Homo-oligomer: A and B are copies of this chain.
Amino acid sequence: MSNGRHLAKDLSWQAHPRRMCPRTASCGCTQMRFCPFAQRVHLVLDAKQIPYHSIYINLTEKPEWLLDKNPQGKVPALEIVREPGPPVLTESLLICEYLDEQYPLRPLYPRDPLKKVQDKILIERFGTVLGAFFRASDGGELEPFWSGLDTYERELSRRGTDFFGGEQTGILDYMIWPWCERLELLKLQRGEDYNYDEERFPQLTLWLERMKRDPAVMAFYMEAEVQAEFLRTRSLGQPNYNLLVKDA
């Protein structure tokens, strides 16, 4: 994937995403490079090898056409470029479900309705864990985050497979990954306070290493130092969205 410039209000017509969208793309993903929810959609697009085009948005100064397409101005948003309208989808998880149904090759959700809903319940419940991550990353207690991860350690151990999806990655792996990738960020932020315990999370520790070698994860992986630098600029009120753009 590219690390393109984030488009802001002063966007000229020549840079309008419809003009930049390559003919091969099935969809355009409006996103922000440092957003873990947008990362979910990229992981699914990349894992399923769906041709797409990324449109990066400066969330502090949103371009006006973004609100025309997507009145809530949310990212990630997926524009289905080949459908009349074209329709714009929001909500990272719903976008991923749509992609898995619309592009049935390399399915990520289990086929069995019971297994499928059990994965969905674990994704839903991860909402509490990611909330605890954000609080920990913001200087709050670490234990609520570890305690949330206990459920996933037990589940991986119960399944007895390399990934939550079985012998290969599945939807649950990708939906929780963005916050697991950020363990390194948490380590950097918290210094000596950081108390991840490999004995408490033996299965997750092995899983983290396996995930880092997954092609879709590698395509969007970001070093903790870069994430930390983005958060630093944001905390100063001047988020540098274009940190990864070579000429930024």
Q: Say which one of A95-103, A130-138, A170-178, A215-223 lies at the interface with B.
A: A95-103
- B residues less than 8 Å from A80 (CB atoms): 114
Q: Say which one of A45-53, A86-94, A183-191, A202-210 lies at the interface with B.
A: A86-94
- B residues less than 8 Å from A89 (CB atoms): 117-118, 121
Q: Are B117 and A97 closer than 8 Å at their CB atoms? A: yes
Copies of this chain, tallied across the complex:
2
Alpha-carbon distance between A121 and B94 when the two chains are bound, in angstroms: 7
Alpha-carbon distance between A87 and B83 when the two chains are bound, in angstroms: 40
- B residues less than 8 Å from A114 (CB atoms): 80, 83, 87, 98, 102
The digit string for A129-154, where 1 denotes a CB below 8 A from any CB of B, is: 00000000000000000000000000
Which A residues contact B (CB, under 8 angstroms)?
Answer: 80, 83, 87, 89-91, 94-95, 97-98, 101-102, 113-114, 116-118, 120-121, 124
Minimum CB–CB distance for A125 against chain B, Å: 8
- B residues less than 8 Å from A94 (CB atoms): 117, 120-121, 124
- B residues less than 8 Å from A101 (CB atoms): 113, 116-117
Q: Are B113 and A98 closer than 8 Å at their CB atoms? A: yes
Of all chain B residues, the one with the shortest Cβ separation from A78 is: B117
Of all chain B residues, the one with the shortest Cβ separation from A98 is: B117
Interface centre among A87, A95, A121 (most CB of B within 10 A): A121
**A–B complex contacts, Cβ < 8 Å, 27 sampled:** A80-B114, A83-B114, A87-B114, A87-B118, A89-B117, A89-B118, A89-B121, A90-B121, A91-B120, A91-B121, A91-B124, A94-B117, A94-B120, A94-B121, A94-B124, A95-B117, A97-B117, A97-B120, A98-B113, A98-B114, A98-B116, A98-B117, A101-B113, A101-B116, A101-B117, A102-B113, A102-B114
